Amino acid sequence: MRSVQHCPQSIEELDELASEPDRGVVETVSHVEGDFVVAGAGGKMGFHLALMLRRALDVLGSGRKVIAVSRFGDASARAPFEAAGIDTISADLCDESVYPDLPDAAAVFFLAGKKFGTSGSPEELRLFNEEMPRLVAERYSHARIVALSTGCVYPFVSPGSGGSVEEDTPEPVGEYAISCLGRERAFLESSERHGTPLALIRLNYSVDLRYGVLVDLASKVIAGEPIDLTMGYFNCLWQGDAVAHTIRALGHAAPAPEAFILNVTGAKILSVREIALALGDHLNSIVDLQGEEAETAWLSNPDKSHRLFGPPRVSEATLLGWVAEWVGLGRPLLGKPTHFEVRDGNY
């Protein structure tokens, strides 16, 4: 695998780099006898994950399918998948009637869910983050399942703690985090009932240069907008590493109550103050810092994933430089802020 130091110069190069499978991904995929379904593939990680699976299968010379399932509101949303040899199915996974027609699969990656615009709408959170996962878990109870969750199911902890570990008791803050714990519970209950091998990925936060915490901060710095320091610390991870670790977790999936739970994030706990100032230096911009850091934040300890899969391929320092270059040159962004600074859990 080539060295990763050069910042992607286009969306095409970004997609290529973020979907490049390492040897561990290829080996993981080689042990799956059958097709792969990526449910909720239209979200921010779906294309890169589906493409990494497709490229790993191509390395193996396998004709197995990667099938991306999402609402796919228009043909243009499906085009990148189909151009890469990934099958697509347009389906509303909240609609129980679509499930009999979904294809069988040996492995399923679940990336669907709802977060933003749900403040004050607990029924919407239940539908997307609890009821829909239960439908997917039951339909694919005979497959291996990797389901994306979030580090927000943990309580706030101090930076000095090193971050929450997988064995910590969840203490979700706010309706969104509560619903994410409900998503985990839906998969766990189905896994225990059917013996489904399951891995739950608690992610904090993926960055692909068009979105992520670093992009949020860089965008504010370059626009001269104030940066609130209250949520003073965070983790983040290059999207290619997040996708690779998520795929490799498939090889560790196990039936509940021994389901595999994994924090996926970067090696360091980062300071909002320090990162904002560093971005200011990169972008030759004055940084408007406001407020003071709270003593705690949502932080995850990634030691388990790094022991299993090795350290991230792209360091936080390299990623910061990439984001500064990408944002500074006015390259395309997704316009989807993470709202990482929210502390009450309502989005």
- Burial grade of 65 (CB within 10 A; 0-12, 13-18, 19 or more): middle
What is the dotted CATH code of the domain comprising 11-206+238-265+299-304? 3.40.50.720
pLDDT, tens digit only, all 347 positions of the chain? 444 678 999 999 999 999 999 999 999 999 999 999 999 999 999 999 999 999 999 999 989 999 999 999 888 899 999 999 999 999 999 999 999 999 999 999 999 987 655 566 778 888 888 999 999 999 999 999 999 999 999 999 999 999 999 999 999 988 889 999 999 999 999 999 999 999 999 999 999 999 999 999 999 999 999 999 999 999 999 999 999 999 999 999 999 999 999 999 999 999 999 999 999 999 999 999 999 999 999 999 999 999 999 999 999 999 999 999 999 999 999 998 988 998 887 76
Contact 283, 214 (CB under 8 A): no
- So what's the pLDDT on residue 74? 81
Cis peptide before 197 (omega within 30 of 0): no
Residue type, 179: S
Residue 7's alpha-carbon distances to 11, 235, 239, 265, 325, in angstroms, are 11, 20, 13, 20, 8
- What pLDDT sits at residue 2? 47
The structure's pTM equals 0.96
pLDDT, residue 345, reads: 75
The enclosing H or E element of 221 equals helix 213-223
Question: Left, alpha or beta for 167 (phi > 0: left; psi -120 to 50: alpha)?
Answer: alpha
Q: Give the pLDDT of residue 113.
A: 82
